[in-house]
C-alpha cells in the first residue's frame, strides 16, 4: 500500500511529496519539527508535542501554518491514511518559500509537511536489550530547547556512535556534564542509587517522553533528581537509560565500552519502562506540558 504525506494543504503520495527549492527549511534550516509516537493506534503526548511546537515556533517567530486543532486533524488523518497502529509521525514547519536572503522575508506562508511511518508494536524485551553509548563533545548551538530542523551536530554525533558500534552518543558540555543524546534524553541511577536526569534549560530538549517518565515515577513513588551529571558519574552509575518518542525507555548497559553496573538492565530501568508504558496507556502522555526551557 502506498504511503501518503501531507504537504502544504494536500495529501499526496509519499513518492511525489516534494518541497520548493527555495523553502527556507532547505536553504537555511529555518524550521522546526516534532516526532509523535503512535502506540496501539493512539498518538502519545499530543498536548506535550503541541506545546513544545508552540515554544519552538514562538522562539523563532515562525507563524503557525494553521490552527492547532486543524493541525491535529491533519496529523490524525496522516495516521489514518497510512494505517499506522504503531509507529511515528514526523511534522516539519518552516518559515516557508522566499527568494534566498538571510533576514526573515516580508511575506511568506509557513510551510507544513507531515509524514508517518509504521513500526512494530512497542517491544519491552527489545527495549531491555541494553545498548552501548559513547560520549562526545556537545558542539551544538545554545538553544537546544528549540526543536530545530538544524540537526547537523546531532547527525554527526549519531554517525560517530554508529561507527563505534554504539546506539547513541551522549553529548558533553564544556564543564564535563552530559547534556543529552543526539536524539534522546539521558538518565542514570548513580552509584548511591539516585535516579538522575538533567534539569531543563536551553542546553537540552525537554522530551515529551522525559516528562511522561517523570510523572510516571511520581505515581510509582520513585524520586527523581533533575540536575546535571558528569561523564565520570555516568561511568560509575548502577544503571543508565535513554528516553525519546522513538526509543521510549531504552536500557543502556555500556558507556564508552565500559559496563554499567553489573552489565545487565537494572531494576529502576525495568520499573521505569513498565511505569512509563502504563502511564501513557492510561493518560495518553504527560499532563504537565508547559516547561520547555
Give the interface with ligand PDD as residue ranges (CB under 6 A): 35, 180, 183-185, 205, 207-210, 243-246
- Helix, strand, or coil (residue 161): helix
What is the spatial distance between Cα 164 and Cα 169, in angstroms, rounded to a whole number?
10
Between 110 and 244, name the residue whose CB sits nearer to ligand PDD: 244
Between 97 and 240, name the residue whose CB sits nearer to ligand PDD: 240
Nearest approach, Cβ of 115 to ligand PDD (angstroms)?
12
For the question of residue 147 being annotated catalytic, the response is: yes
What phi-psi label fits residue 80: left (phi over 0), alpha (psi between -120 and 50 degrees) or beta?
alpha
Q: Is 141 exposed, middle or buried (0-12, 13-18, 19+ CB in 10 A)?
A: exposed
Between 205 and 275, name the residue whose CB sits nearer to ligand PDD: 205
Give, as one character, the DSSP assignment of residue 15.
Answer: G
- Among candidate residues 118, 147, 158, 250, the one labeled active-site is 147
Between 4 and 214, name the residue whose CB sits nearer to ligand PDD: 214
- Of 197, 214, 208, 178, the C-alpha closest to 292 is 208
Nearest approach, Cβ of 187 to ligand PDD (angstroms)?
11
Between 132 and 180, name the residue whose CB sits nearer to ligand PDD: 180
Nearest approach, Cβ of 246 to ligand PDD (angstroms)?
5
Nearest approach, Cβ of 32 to ligand PDD (angstroms)?
11
274 and 251 Cβ atoms separated by less than 8 Å = no
Nearest approach, Cβ of 19 to ligand PDD (angstroms)?
18
> CB nearest ligand PDD: which residue?
207
What is the spatial distance between Cα 45 and Cα 53, in angstroms, rounded to a whole number?
12
- What contacts 75, CB < 8 A, 6 or more positions away? 36, 43, 89, 91, 114
168 and 256 Cβ atoms separated by less than 8 Å = no
* Active-site residue list: 147
Amino acid at each position: 500500500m502506498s504511503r501518503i504525506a501531507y504537504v502544504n494543504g494536500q495529501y499526496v503520495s509519499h513518492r511525489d511529496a516534494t518541497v520548493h527549492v527555495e523553502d527556507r527549511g532547505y536553504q537555511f534550516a529555518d524550521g522546526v519539527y516534532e516526532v509523535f509516537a503512535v502506540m496501539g493506534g493512539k498518538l502519545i503526548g499530543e498536548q506535550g508535542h503541541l506545546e513544545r511546537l508552540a515554544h519552538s515556533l514562538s522562539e523563532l517567530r515562525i507563524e503557525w501554518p494553521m490552527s492547532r486543532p486543524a493541525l491535529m486533524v491533519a496529523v490524525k488523518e496522516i495516521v489514518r491514511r497510512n494505517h499506522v497502529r504503531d509507529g511515528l509521525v514526523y511534522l516539519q514547519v518552516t518559515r516557508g518559500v522566499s527568494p534566498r536572503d538571510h533576514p526573515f522575508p516580508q511575506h511568506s506562508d509557513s510551510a507544513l509537511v507531515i509524514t508517518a511511518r509504521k513500526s512494530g508494536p512497542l517491544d519491552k524485551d527489545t527495549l531491555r536489550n541494553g545498548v552501548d553509548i559513547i560520549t562526545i563533545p556537545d558542539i551544538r548551538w545554545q538553544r537546544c530547547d528549540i526543536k530545530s530542523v538544524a540537526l547537523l551536530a546531532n547527525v554527526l554525533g549519531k554517525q560517530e556512535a554508529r561507527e563505534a558500534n554504539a546506539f547513541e552518543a551522549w553529548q558533553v558540555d564544556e564543564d564535563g556534564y552530559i547534556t543529552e543524546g543526539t536524539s534522546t534524553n539521558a538518565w542514570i541511577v548513580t552509584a548511591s542509587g539516585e535516579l538522575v536526569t538533567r534539569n531543563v534549560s536551553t542546553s537540552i530538549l525537554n522530551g515529551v517522553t522525559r516528562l511522561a517518565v517523570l510523572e510516571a515515577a511520581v505515581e510509582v513513588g520513585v524520586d527523581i533528581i533533575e540536575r546535571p551529571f558528569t561523564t565520570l558519574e555516568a561511568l560509575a552509575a548502577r544503571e543508565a537509560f535513554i528516553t525519546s518518542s522513538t526509543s521510549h525507555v531504552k536500557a543502556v548497559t555500556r558507556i564508552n565500552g565500559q559496563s554499567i553496573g553489573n552489565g545487565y538492565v537494572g531494576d529502576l530501568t525495568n520499573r521505569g519502562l513498565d511505569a512509563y508504558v502504563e502511564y501513557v496507556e492510561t493518560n495518553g502522555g504527560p499532563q504537565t506540558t508547559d516547561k520547555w526551557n
